[in-house]
Amino acid sequence: MLGLLAALLAGCASKPQGSVVLLPDAQGRDTAVRVRQDGGELLLDKPYAAALLTDQGPRPTTSSAEQVQAQFGAALAARPAPPQQFTLYFIEGKDEFTDESKRAFDGVFVEITRRPVPDVLVIGHTDRVGSDAFNDALSRQRAEVVRRALVARGLAADSIVVVGRGEREPIVTTADGVAEARNRRVEILVR
Amino acid sequence: MNILSQALRAVLAAALAVALALPAAADIGQVKTRKGQVSVERKGQLLPAEVGMPLEASDTLKTGADGSVGITMRDNSLLSAGPNSILSLERFEFDATTSQGRFDAQLQRGTLAVVSGRIAKQSPQAMTLRTPSAQLGVRGTDFVVSAGE
């Protein structure tokens, strides 16, 4: 029986077609990859759980940080910096930063300049004071203020995309007409 | 500023918001890092890959023996390939508002490191990575694949 199993495994190993290794998530989130081949299916759901791809289906195995580095070092070294998100807040009904966010803006710009080819997505939001039309325009104006400030500091205008979402995507859900400082914001995604 | 001009400004701003959100829609991602020889095959043409180059659906990235390349997709997925790799970005659809989308890529050869993004986070069935012999359903987030060894 064991001999048969060994022979089967040896048979599997005779034609390696590749491999898959699950890595630990940088933020500790749950992570999993389902590997499917003609010969079967395998779920990788632990760090360094691995699958050898063979002509008889995926074969479970375990890898390590060292083995991954040896085989995938160049691919991992080429990985772009992870996108970073910032949130800046505004004074009620206006497209002016709060004092705190005026200072935080410097941090956003530092993150942008660390990247060789930054692209920036700016999404403006409002609270629920005012009409939908007013808030659509205000959210857009808030995002525009950020765009202008970034361009003024030297970021290429064509690397910035600006969007206004009005009051549709609150951080804190409120009734209509309620002022809520945490919803008066611009989200800046730096990639 | 009076109420009328403020209202006019609001209307114009809303119209602009729609207009300006569009140009980036064709781009599915961007080359962020490159080392050695890397090219992009697009509609039958072979283009040299440069840092900052926008990517389109159906692009195929090819790295030479000394090459590597890293790309960031619009849904924040990060893909990076080592030497002697061929990676096809077969299909990429992404709604930035809902995070709904579809991302299909194929590693025909070589090595690839992946951090999945918003598409896979929103729907665990929405991102698939294939190799010539396998299909990976990406639940998230961080993994490496090799093909054709």
For chain A, the 3-state helix, strand and coil shares in percent, each to the nearest 5, are 35, 25, 40
* Out of B14, B112, B149, closest to residue A137 by CB: B14
What is the arithmetic mean of pLDDT over A98-123? 92
Whole-number Å distance between alpha carbons of B55 and B73? 9
Q: What pLDDT shows up at residue B114?
A: 98
The per-residue pLDDT for B102 is 97
Residues of A in contact with B137 (CB under 8 A): 33-34, 36
- B14·A136 Cβ contact <8 A: yes
3-state SS, residue A84: strand
Residue A80 forms contact with B (CB below 8 Å): yes
Q: What are phi and psi of A140, to 5 degrees?
A: -65, -45
User: Is B143's CB within 8 Å of A20's CB?
Assistant: yes
Q: Each residue of A131-161: pLDDT tens digit? A: 999 999 999 999 999 999 999 999 999 899 9
Whether residue B4 contacts residue A128, with contact meaning beta carbons closer than 8 Å, is answered with no
Determine, for residues A71 and B111 on separate chains, whether the beta-carbon distance falls below 8 Å: yes
CA distance B44 to A47: 39
Tell me whether A33 touches chain B (CB under 8 Å). yes
Question: How close, in Å, is residue B117 to chain A by CA atoms?
Answer: 10
Let me know: does A89 contact A127? Beta carbons within 8 Å.
no
pTM: 0.83
Q: What is the mean pLDDT of chain B?
A: 88
Q: Cβ of A100: how many Cβ atoms within 10 Å?
A: 10
Distance CA B30, CA A191 (A): 9
Quick one: which H or E segment has residue A104?
helix A99-113
Does residue B109 or residue B17 have the better pLDDT?
B109
Torsions phi, psi for B129 (to 5 deg): -120, 125
Phi, psi of B103 (to 5 degrees): -135, 115
Give the distance from residue A91's alpha carbon to the nearest chain B alpha carbon, in angstroms. 18
How big is the A-B interface in CB pairs under 8 Å? Answer: 186
Minimal Cβ distance to B72: which of A20, A134, A191? A191
Nearest-5° angle of CA A56, CA A71, CA B149?
A: 40
Distance in angstroms (rounded) separating the CA atoms of residues B88 and B65: 18
A19-74 pLDDT tens trace: 999 999 988 888 899 999 998 999 999 999 999 999 999 999 999 999 999 999 99
Distance CA A51, CA A29 (A): 21
**What are B25-45's pLDDT values in tens digits?**
468 999 999 999 999 999 999
Tell me how far the alpha carbon of residue A18 is from its chain's centroid.
27
* Separation between Cα atoms, residue B27 and residue A14, nearest integer Å: 42
Between the CA of residue B40 and those of A19, A39, B57, B117, what are the distances in Å? 25, 33, 12, 22
* pLDDT tens-digit series, residues B16-29: 444 444 444 468 99
Residue B137 is nearest to which of A36, A73, A83, comparing CB atoms?
A36
Name every chain B residue with its beta carbon within 8 A of the beta carbon of A21: 143-144
Q: Do B147 and A53 touch (CB under 8 A)?
A: yes
3-state class (DSSP) for residue A74: helix
A120-124 vs A160-164, strand pairing mode: parallel
* B60: closest CA of chain A, how far (Å): 16
Residue pair A143/A97 in contact (Cβ under 8 Å)? The answer is no
ipTM of the complex: 0.83
What per-residue confidence (pLDDT) applies to A5?
52
Nearest beta carbon to residue A75 from set B20, B112, B134: B112
* CA–CA distances in Å: residue B29 to residues B20, B32, B45, B56, B108: 18, 9, 19, 7, 20
Give, to the nearest 10 degrees, the angle between helix A99-113 and helix A132-152: 50
8 Å CB contact of B143 and A163: no
Residue A14: Cβ within 10 Å count: 10
How far apart CA B50 and CA B39 sit, in angstroms, is: 8
Q: Which residue has the tokens 């987030």?
A: B141
Residue B144 CA to residue A21 CA, distance in Å, equals 5
The closest alpha carbon to B143, from A83, A78, A25, belongs to A25
